[in-house]
């Protein structure tokens, strides 16, 4: 069975590469350069995900600024106020 977007030959070469990596005695990070498919999988699995806390704070600030009393504010003015408010609180 092949993975989506992969030809049968490509899938088997990845499996062969993985088997070679697992059978090798090298266990340092530099050995991953010899196995590009394993290297890509390692980087994907060990990359940190960005935090959404900053975005949530920005949306919270924007929600406070855009109140019913300020509903006639232009988009540009709204953007500028949110930008300045976020810069002042950091």
Tokens 């003015």 belong to which residue?
77
Query: How far is residue 90's CA from residue 88's CA, in Å, rounded to a whole number?
Result: 6
Averaged pLDDT, 22-32: 85
Query: How far is residue 58's CA from residue 65's CA, in Å, rounded to a whole number?
Result: 11
Averaged pLDDT, 16-20: 91
Query: How far is residue 35's CA from residue 18's CA, in Å, rounded to a whole number?
Result: 8
Average pLDDT, the chain: 83
Residue 7, SS3?
A: coil
| pLDDT tens figures, 28-67 | 888 888 999 989 988 888 877 777 888 888 899 899 998 8
Q: Please say whether the beta carbons of 37 and 14 come within 8 A.
A: yes
Q: Taking the CB of residue 74, how many other CB atoms lie within 10 A of it?
A: 8
Query: How far is residue 82's CA from residue 58's CA, in Å, rounded to a whole number?
Result: 8
% of the chain beyond a pLDDT of 90: 24
Per-residue pLDDT band at 7 (split at 50, 70, 90): low
Whole-prediction pTM:
0.43
């Amino acid at each position: 069975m092949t993975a989506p977007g992969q030809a049968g030959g490509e899938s088997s070469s990845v499996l062969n590469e993985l088997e070679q990596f697992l059978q090798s005695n090298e266990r340092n990070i530099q050995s991953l350069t010899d196995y590009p498919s394993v290297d890509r999988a390692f980087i994907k699995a060990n990359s940190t995900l960005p935090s959404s806390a900053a975005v949530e704070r920005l949306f919270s600030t924007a929600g406070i600024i855009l109140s019913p009393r300020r509903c006639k504010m232009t988009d540009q003015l709204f953007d500028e106020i949110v930008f300045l408010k976020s810069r002042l609180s950091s």
